[in-house]
């Protein structure tokens, strides 16, 4: 059973949420934004430097940003105050994905041009409020085969991708290639140590299996995407799920350079948090 969230007990989280919701419902008529911040600090302490009990040695502890170890440091650096909820627009239901809001007028989405605009707007809002922003596709991707071996009729190949500012970002990609010339469909998933069942099933069915090292390091391999945070900060502030998904897109960039890959049949999958990663990737990578 989960008993803490990023170092906060469930009791603290629930109290904080209750306070947050109560202020949203009643407004801030009798409380300034500064006063409300002080109320939040009482139930959400500023200094939370201790990592969770299952944190792996050598991995960075939870943090707010590359510049801020905790919420208190972020508050001191930015001087941010809670929003004035009375001034924020209220929307009691989920927004309709098939309606354009133009100056308060709701226009149904019925054309591809309208959907393109609506999709771009939803992606922008999701990055602003939920996931953090992602960099554009890097144009300096380089690939180096660092290991290759035969396992029966299969070819196993490990590639090091480098890209981004000064080619300092990296991603390890592992391919299991069935016999034949292809082009083969591709099955992509995060690279977990001692977990081969998914990729073995895919290869038996004629897929190239592609694994990449951008996921929770508790699965056995370092998270290559951890370094992306500082490399692109402060211009882009993507969170872990978006970093993993953006890394998956870099693996797809590499797959697009291979003649034995069917570019129209590339699938990305994952379980639990990696399932969310796959959904975010599909939303932002239009391939």
pLDDT tens sequence across 182-210: 899 999 999 887 677 888 899 999 999 99
Tokens representing 74 are: 């972020």
Lowest mean pLDDT: which of 57-66, 216-225, 239-248? 57-66
29 inside domain: yes
161 inside domain: yes
Mean pLDDT of the chain: 85
5: pLDDT confidence band, cut at 50, 70 and 90? very low
pLDDT at 29 > cutoff 60: no
Q: What is the pLDDT of residue 117?
A: 93
Q: Is 278 exposed, middle or buried (0-12, 13-18, 19+ CB in 10 A)?
A: buried
| Helix (H/G/I), strand (E/B), else coil: 163 | strand
Pair (97, 156) in one structural domain: no
Pair (103, 15) in one structural domain: no
Q: Which of 182, 180, 161, 185 is nearest to 171 (CA)?
A: 161
Contact between residue 185 and residue 206 where contact means Cβ atoms under 8 Å apart? yes
Q: Which long-range contacts (CB under 8 A, 24 or more apart) does 50-54 make?
A: 50/7, 51/7, 52/4, 52/6, 52/7, 54/218
pLDDT at 3 > cutoff 50: no
231 inside domain: yes
| Mean pLDDT value of segment 204-229 | 91
Q: Which residues pair with 99 in a beta bridge?
A: 108
Q: Is 3 exposed, middle or buried (0-12, 13-18, 19+ CB in 10 A)?
A: exposed
| Helix (H/G/I), strand (E/B), else coil: 210 | strand
Determine the distance from the C-alpha atom of residue 87 to the mean position of all C-alpha atoms in its chain, rounded to a whole number: 30
Q: What is the pLDDT of residue 4?
A: 43
Domain count, the chain: 3
| Mean pLDDT value of segment 109-113 | 96
Q: What is the pLDDT of residue 2?
A: 42
Pair (163, 274) in one structural domain: yes
pLDDT at 76 > cutoff 70: yes
- Structural domain of 27: 4-85
Q: Which of 229, 257, 262 is nearest to 143 (CA)?
A: 257
């Amino acid at each position: 059973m989960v008993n803490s969230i990023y170092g906060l007990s469930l009791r603290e989280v629930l109290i904080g949420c209750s306070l947050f919701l109560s202020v949203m419902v009643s407004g801030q008529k009798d409380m300034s934004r500064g006063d409300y911040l002080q109320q939040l600090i009482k139930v959400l302490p500023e200094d939370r430097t201790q990592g969770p009990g299952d944190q792996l040695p050598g991995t960075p502890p939870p943090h707010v940003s590359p510049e801020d170890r905790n919420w208190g440091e972020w508050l001191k650096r930015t001087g941010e105050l809670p929003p004035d909820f009375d001034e924020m627009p209220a929307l009691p239901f989920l927004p309709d994905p098939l309606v354009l809001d133009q100056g308060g007028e709701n226009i149904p989405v019925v054309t591809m041009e309208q959907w393109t605009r609506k999709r771009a707007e939803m992606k922008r809002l999701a990055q602003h409020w939920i996931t953090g922003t992602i960099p554009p596709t890097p144009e300096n991707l380089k690939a180096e085969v660092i290991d290759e071996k035969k396992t029966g009729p299969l070819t196993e190949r490990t590639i090091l991708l480098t890209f981004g500012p000064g080619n300092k970002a990296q991603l390890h990609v592992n391919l299991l290639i069935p016999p034949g010339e292809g082009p083969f469909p591709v099955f992509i998933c995060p690279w977990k140590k001692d977990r081969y069942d998914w990729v073995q099933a895919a290869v038996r069915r004629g897929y190239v299996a592609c694994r990449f090292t951008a996921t929770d390091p508790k699965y056995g391999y370092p998270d290559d995407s951890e370094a992306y945070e500082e490399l692109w900060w402060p211009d882009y502030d993507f969170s872990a799920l978006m970093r993993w998904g953006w890394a998956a897109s870099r693996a797809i960039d590499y797959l697009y350079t291979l003649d034995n890959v069917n570019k129209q049949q590339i699938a990305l999958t994952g379980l639990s948090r990696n399932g969310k990663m796959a959904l975010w990737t599909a939303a932002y990578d239009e391939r």
